[in-house]
């Protein structure tokens, strides 16, 4: 095996991170997560981020431009969305993405639930 000790350590650290991420890929899973976000975990502070595609950032502002392809939510180590997973990742690019996104509307639209955004000026769409 030609893997360096640094590469092996990095792989191990990444596998630990991936093990804490819940991939939400169905309406049923979205409903469960949103129930926790708006219920049991509503008083936590949630770190949110979106990723977009099809935008020319040098030519247009991000507001109302581009297409959201995924978003993530981290609710801190006290949150457990199943099997010790405290991070949520939602792919809204593939089929059914709009329906998945709509399931999260009660969470995103509830101003009483505290959210911290990465690069909010860009993500505000």
Per-residue model confidence as pLDDT tens digits over 6-16: 777 777 766 66
Instruction: Work out the average pLDDT over 93-119.
Output: 88
Per-residue confidence (pLDDT) for residue 15, from 0 to 100: 65
Q: What is the pLDDT of residues 30-64, one digit of tens each?
A: 999 999 999 999 999 999 998 877 776 666 665 66
Query: pTM for the whole thing?
Result: 0.77
Per-residue confidence (pLDDT) for residue 67, from 0 to 100: 77
Start-end of H helices in the chain: 5-18, 27-38, 97-103, 105-109, 120-123
Per-residue confidence (pLDDT) for residue 31, from 0 to 100: 97
Domains in the chain, CATH or no CATH each: 21-123 (3.30.420.10)
Start-end of H helices in 46-93: none
Q: What is the pLDDT of residues 57-102, one digit of tens each?
A: 666 665 666 778 889 999 998 999 998 899 999 988 876 788 999 9
CA dist 3 and 1 (Å) reads 6
Contact 72, 63 (CB under 8 A): no
């Amino acid at each position: 095996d030609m893997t360096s000790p640094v590469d092996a350590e990095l792989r191990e650290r990444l596998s630990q991170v991936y093990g804490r991420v819940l991939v939400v890929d169905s309406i049923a899973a979205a409903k469960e997560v949103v129930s926790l976000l708006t219920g049991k975990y509503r008083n936590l502070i949630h770190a949110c981020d979106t990723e977009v595609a099809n935008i020319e950032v040098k030519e247009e502002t991000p507001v109302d431009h581009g297409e959201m392809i995924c978003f993530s939510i981290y609710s801190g180590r006290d949150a457990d969305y199943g099997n010790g997973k405290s991070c949520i990742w939602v792919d809204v690019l593939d089929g059914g993405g709009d329906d998945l996104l709509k399931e999260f509307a009660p969470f995103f639209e509830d101003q009483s639930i505290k959210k911290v955004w990465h690069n909010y000026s860009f993500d505000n769409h």
